[in-house]
Structures are given as structure tokens and as C-alpha cells.
Amino acid sequence: MAIKIGLDFGTSNSGVALSDGQRVRVLPLDPQNVIPEVVKTILYVTRDYQHFIGQEAIELYYKHNVNRVRRYEMQWAGAIQVLADEVDYMHDVFVEVDVLKPGRLLQYLKTALRKGAGLGDVSGTQMFERYYTVGELVRAYLSALKSRAEAELGEPITSVTLGRPVKFADDPALDHQSEETLRQAALDAGFAQVDFEFEPVAAALFYEQTLARPENVLIFDFGGGTLDIAIMRLGEPGKRRFYASGGIDIAGSDFDRTIIEKRLLPHFGAGLVHHRPEITDLIEAVPDWATLPELSTPIARRNLDKAIQAEVAPVRLKNLQSLIFDDLAFEFYNQVEAAKIQLSEQAATLIALKGSEIDLWELYTRLQFERDIETYRQEIEHVLLETVAASGLEPAQIDAVVKTGGSSNIPLFSEMLGNIFGAEKVKASNAFSSVTAGLAIRAFETR
């Protein structure tokens, strides 16, 4: 039997679901993830051109890179022609290349797609001896995701309904090109039939099916990578109307980063180490999970050893050394993310790492979290009100606010929506999988 799935190719997270007309099954394609139904939109390409996605990609990236040997060689990268009044010569350009680099980690594939894949803006990247276009990178990710879904279902998948933002870009030509690149990548990944549905529509599909009369609906899709807002009139199939859409690049990953910066960096010596740029650089890199493995160099270890011996915050720097060199980064970032999720359910949580050389303990409350992300809340409220204004509607004219995405569960934002539109209008959809599930329903209807 031909199987058609719904596939949400998100900026930070992706997912696959299948509907049989009665119920929707979101497939647990990443058992290593905190939420197995969510697959991080991360691609790791090894030197022998093998592709890994999701948590497996992150784990492998850490495994390959923490404490690895590096060897830098000067390689010719090209030539620059220098023209002046009386001179005209070619200047060779050499770059230092780590020839032992075991692979490359790529994030924000969708952003690359949105920024104009194939139009010469962000068209691709060199990966060891090969050049990958953005379409090829997306194909590699979709292909791996499809293989996992087929393994889970035990059957080949032939068709897909893919989610897409209301606008990839403001320029219609760029918007069309981005969709075509995504379509071609899906076809190349082995899907015989590919169609699209808008992500906000997919997110509101459950809700739309319950409507007896048309309503003005605001979709508040607040996930791991971005906040997407869409204001639509739903309830009249075939007569959907988009009033406005907006968004901002603030979401769950920014909150993780904030927690680390404001609460956890002091455990690694922030504020205690001065006039030692080689150490402060290491501390400041901790919030960036993708950078941390790159810090595990012999020079960094030596610098930390020296500072510890000089008794510059030795306990905190020992924590830092252990985090970088004892392969704890993966557990650390997972704990931060898990703590953030827990604070939506309970008033306090614990972030703790223990080892022979590390003892990190941070009791973190919801109030602390809300204070830490207050600036983001203000920015989000501003964008939300701007989008409502652009729709030409007053907040009172919005009949329902459908919130979806993991970050929409954060009580601070539920309260914000309730204060603006009225708490009774705020409806919760499946936080982590509503877009995926909606796409699966659409896939079933159009199979």
C-alpha cells in the first residue's frame, strides 16, 4: 500500500506523522532525544560522506571532536587579482585547514533555504572534497528522516505532504525558488509525490475541524528555533484568508542559552577570572553547544591547567575543564533543555552535573527563569502586537489564539497571550507535534 506521510521540516526540529483517517501517529524517530517524536534539524556529514541526523548527529559530533587530534595545514584557497594604477598582479590566498577534521555539523538548513537557495545568496558549502548545494544538504536530511520513518513503519513511503512557512521570503521569486528547492530535495530523497501545506494551517487543522462557523484565528507557533505568527480566517474550506504573518528568531534555543549565560557560567568561573582572555574566551563559548567540542585542544587544556595551578578560581575552572574534556557537554545541554521544559510544569527544578572533577548544582525556579527571559518576552509581545496591527484587526476581533510548539507551553507566554486576547480565547494544541500531525491529516486527505 502506498504510504503518504506528513513531514514538518522545521528550523530547529522536524517530525514525521502518519494518519489513517481515525487517528494520527507521530513517529518516535529519535529515541535518544528528550522527546523521541522530535528530530533535531541537524545534519552531520563525516569525512567519508556519511550522513547523520538528530541526536545521533550531535552525539557523533561530540564523540568525534572532544579531545581529538588536530593538524592544521596551509592550503591554497584561490587567488585575488590586485588592480591599482600601475600594478596588476594575482595574490595567492592560503587558509589553514584542519586536515584531521572528522566531519562537519550543519544547522539551520531551513534558514539557508529561506535565504535564497539557488539564487546565489546562500547557495551551498564546501564539504571536504565535495561541494554541497543547499538542496543537496536538505535532500541528505530528508533522506535520512525518510529511512528512519520507513524502518519505524516497516514499509516504503512513497509520498509526502511537506510543511512550508506562509512566506519563505518577501520576494515572490525567492519564495517560489525556495519551495521548488525543497520540492526537488524531497523528490531526490525518494518521495515520488510531494505537495505542500502551510505550517500555521497544519498547526490549526485540528482546531479548524471543530469550527462550526468561520473565525479569525491567530496561530502562535513557538518552537525551538523561531516564533511564527499567522493570523487567518478559518472555518470555510477553500476560502481561507491570510490577514498577516510575522515572526522573530527567538525561541527555545535562546532560552537555553540564557539559562546557561545567567545561571551556569559562574560555575565555570565567569566573573571570577579577569585579565586572562584565553580563559574568558573558553568560558564565553560554553553557551554554544556546537562550539564546545572545538575547545578541547591541548592548548586549552594547558591554559586551564596553568590557571588552576595559579589558583585562579581553581574549583570553577576544574568544572570547566571537566565539561570540555570529559565528554560531559551532551549531558549538560540536555539537562538545561530538560530543566526549561520542567519549569512549565513545576515551580522549581535542578540542573546538576557530578563527576570526579565537576560538581555543578543549580536550583532554578520559574520566577528566576521568567526574570531571565523578560527581555525576550517584551520583544515577542512587540512583534505579536505589530502582526495583529498589520492584519488590520483589533485584538478583540481575534476569535481564538491557537498556541503550538514547545516554547508556547511556557506559562509566561500563555499569560501574555491571555492578557492581550483574553484567557478564554487561548487554546493549546499539541505543543511538540501539532504541525506534524496537521500535515499527516492533510496527507491522508490528499493521498
Partner 1 sequence: MFPPEKIDEWLSEVAQRPDSAALIIRFIANRLAELANWNEKLRAENIALRSGQRVQEYEQQVSHLEYQLELLKRQFGGELPEVQLTAAPGRAVDPLNLLIYDATGRIFRLELDSAALTDGLTLGNLRGLPSKGEPPRLLVAPSSEELFCIFTSGRILPLPLAAIPKSAPECAWNQVDIPHEPAVNDALACLMPASKIALADFFIQTSRRGFMKKIRMALAPSIVENRYIGTGTKLPGDQTLEVGLGHETDQYALLSRDGYLQCLSAEMLSFAVEEALRLDSSDHLVAVFPYRAEQALLVMTQIGKAIHRDAAGLEIATDLKRRGQALYSKARREKGVQVVGGAALNGDDWGLALHLGGGITLHAASQLFESGTIPVDGEILGFTAFPGAGESNPEQ
| C-alpha dihedral (12, 337, 227, 180), degrees to nearest 10 | 10
**2, 100, 310, 350: which one contacts partner 1 (CB under 8 A)?**
350
**Selected range binding partner 1 among 89-97, 290-298, 323-331, 343-351, rule: CB under 8 A:** 343-351
What track of x and - describes contact with partner 1 for positions 369 through 398 (by CB under 8 A)?
--x---------------------------
The span of 9-17, 359-367, 398-406, 413-421 binding partner 1 (CB under 8 A) equals 359-367
| Residue 131 touches partner 1, criterion: CB under 8 A | no
Residue of the chain from 22, 309, 346, 356 that contacts partner 1 (CB under 8 A): 346
Say if CB 248 and CB 370 are below 8 A apart: no
Q: Report the DSSP beta bridge partners of residue 139.
A: none
Letter for the amino acid at 153?
Answer: L
Q: How far is the CB of 364 from partner 1 (least distance, A)?
A: 9
**Minimum CB distance to partner 1 smaller for 365 or for 446:** 365
Residue among 368, 381, 390, 415 that touches partner 1 (CB under 8 A) = 368
446 binds partner 1 (CB under 8 A): no
Q: Is 120 left (phi over 0), alpha (psi -120 to 50) or beta?
A: left
**Separation CA 415–CA 156 (nearest Å):** 44
What 3-state class would DSSP assign to 281?
Answer: helix
Q: Which of 77, 100, 310, 363 binds partner 1 (CB under 8 A)?
A: 363
Query: Site for partner 1 (CB under 8 A): which residue of 126, 209, 291, 365?
Result: 365
Collect all residues with Cβ–Cβ distance below 8 Å to 193 and sequence separation of at least 6. Answer: 4, 158, 159, 160
Q: Shortest CA distance to 353 belongs to which of 383, 329, 384? A: 329
Q: Rounded to the nearest 5°, which phi and psi values hold at 136?
A: -70, -35
Q: Which of residues 138-167 bind partner 1 (CB under 8 A)?
A: none
Q: Is 348 in the site for partner 1 (CB under 8 A)?
A: yes
Residue type for 248, please?
A: I
Question: Is 365 or 378 the residue whose CB approaches partner 1 more closely?
Answer: 365
Neighbour tally for 50: CB within 10 Å: 12
- The binding site for partner 1 (CB under 8 A) comprises 346-348, 350, 361, 363, 365-368, 371
